[in-house]
Homo-oligomer: A and B are copies of this chain.
Amino acid sequence: MAPTSETLTAERILEATEEVLRRHGPAKATVVDVARALGVSHGSVYRHFRTKAVLREAVTKRWLDRTSERLAGIVSDGSGPEERLRAWLAALFAAKRHKAGDDPELFATYTVLTDENGTAVGEHIADLTSQLTRIIAAGAGSGIFTAPDPAAAARAVFHATGRFHDPCYAREWTAPGIDEEFTAVVDLLIRGLGAPR
């Protein structure tokens, strides 16, 4: 049953946009492509997304937000700060690895889109580092970590773990030994954050 424009929510348009991207790659996903996939007029889509650029930015943001939302639960899960930091970094790596491994073509498509949408990526990174900041601040508050500036420490931890979340390393994520590499880097960072013993 073709949906009517009454039922056309932004979320439904973004779902259809992702489906168009999955089938046709990053060159597609214009407003017209998406309207055709939904069986609606392009005017109906334009009411939600004024331009192709706005649509592509929104679908990119939705894709990135799926990762942040999975991680948000860990930030306040009640475990100790070191355990939470390890769990959060492992979950970030796992989420990215799944995205890259489960549907490599869609991942490649979104990598093109993230290159185009610096603002969405910047917000995503700000979101992730603010989650990290809360964990590190909790550790500093309880004397487990030494971090006079938890936000700066969070950015350093995020940058130092790029190998395990930045899409440019996606090819490495299936290499033998990558889990040991991850653990070695995280151990070193946890020791670096640690209060003097």
Residues of A bordering B, CB below 8 Å: 152-153, 155-157, 159-163, 166, 168-169, 181, 184-185, 187-194, 196-197
Contacts and interface: CB of A to CB of B under 8 A. Distances in A.
B184 A152 contact: yes
Nearest to A186: B156
A159 B197 CA distance: 26
A188 B153 contact: yes
A48 B3 CA distance: 68
A163 B156 CA distance: 11
Contact of A189 (B163, B168, B188, B196): B188
A51 B131 CA distance: 52
Contact of A160 (B155, B161, B190): B161
> Residue among A157, A159, A166 with the most chain B CB within 10 A?
A159
B163 A181 contact: no
Contacts of A185: 156, 159-160
Contacts of A155: 181, 184
Given A156-B184, A159-B181, A188-B189, 16 more contacts: A155-B184, A157-B188, A159-B163, A160-B161, A160-B185, A160-B189, A162-B163, A166-B168, A168-B168, A168-B169, A187-B192, A188-B192, A188-B193, A190-B192, A191-B193, A192-B193
A184 B157 CA distance: 9
